[in-house]
Structure 1
Amino acid sequence: MTVVEEKGLHNLGPAKGSTKDRKRVGRGPGSGTGKRSGRGQKGQKSRSGSHNVRPGFEGGQFPSYMRIGKLRGSNKKMSMPMGPFRTFAQPVNVGALSDFDAGTEVTGILLAQAGLIRTARKNVKILGEGELTVKLKVVAHGFSAQAKAKIEAAGGTWELVPGPKPHGRVLTNMLKAEARLAVVTARGKGAKPAAAAAPKAEPEADTDADA
């Protein structure tokens, strides 16, 4: 039978195995941890500080995650991360708009105040899940075909938020493309139809041979 001693201030202590003895290093070869202090010679692990590296680090060589291709497109599950040239729309279903009073103009600011989106600074897209029972004017950056149909069926209207105007290199490329298209169109209108080929004259009969 094991007798369990009652705990008190006179017998408090750490749990068995939770602590270990202090390691005294660099105090001569007789201690077993002298000279190199158990760290060996040179190398990353002999230096001070943490020796942990970030996930994916391969010692400085070209990492494998950069050697494989990048999936393009905004709708793919494994597409590239969000960047300055990628847009992300916050989804809101039409069923969530039924809580607004009839005749309300629903904007991004109003949706953010209602807690339906996180911020009004990012784009909003209205999706078609749920039923809309009130007449509303919905202003957003995008609408699904089903959402448009349900808003109009409830007697409401929808309006797209105009996007930013192109500038810089994008605007330059657009103007160049329009100029090239105008030249090609003008050439097509001014081109004359090819003249019909004249029929070939039949060879005359050899009269000398008949004579």
Structure 2
Amino acid sequence: GAAVSHHPGMVHPDGGFRFAWDMIGITAIVYQSFVVPLQLSFGIEVTFVLLEAISVLFDSYFLVDILVSFRSGYLNKGVLVMDPSTVALHYIRSWLLVDCVASVPWDWISVSPDLKAFAMVRLFRLARLLRLARLKAMMAKVEDRVDSEAVVLGLALCKLFVVLLMTAHWVACVWWAIGHFAQAHGDDSWIEAEGVLAAPLNTRYMAAMFYAISIFATMYGDIGATN
């Protein structure tokens, strides 16, 4: 069973609050892993009120998460550590730097017209993807709390689907960025060949996604032919 903490204000790593908090974090990381590459490669900004509110909410979550992490106990070789000083030092030595860099709310900063003119502000958003390094550990903690084999299998299938979808999404975003860069510098570009430069976002995205899917299909075909 879970040990009782004698330190007020400390968060038990296996407690209900930590579980719920991590679930929100997993959702936020996956969300930003899709949105950030889309914003950077296609040069779009979040204009829908709902999506903008979600982005602000998640940015706020990650800022608060730094404080929560300073007060969250951990297991060291099966031994529960809840001493505030030890926990804080452990966090400082492990994830604090990554969390601080990844939690800078660049969307809030780029509200300024002067700063928004700099493309570097957009590129700094890539720092949010550093949180992907924590995603595996967070998912493992969630799976450890599940007793049902059916649920564990379902989670594994969901992870596989998300990884495949995210990989295809990133390839599509990179492919569009490469084409757009070539177009901007007067070189031949697949975007020009396909005539989708001025097309709506969904058309541009699907054109890039088609390329990403074709890569996976080619890889699968090569593997099948080899076997």
Taking structure 1 as the reference length, the TM-score comes to 0.23
Q: Highest Rg: 1 or 2? A: 1
More helix by share: 2
More strand by share: 1
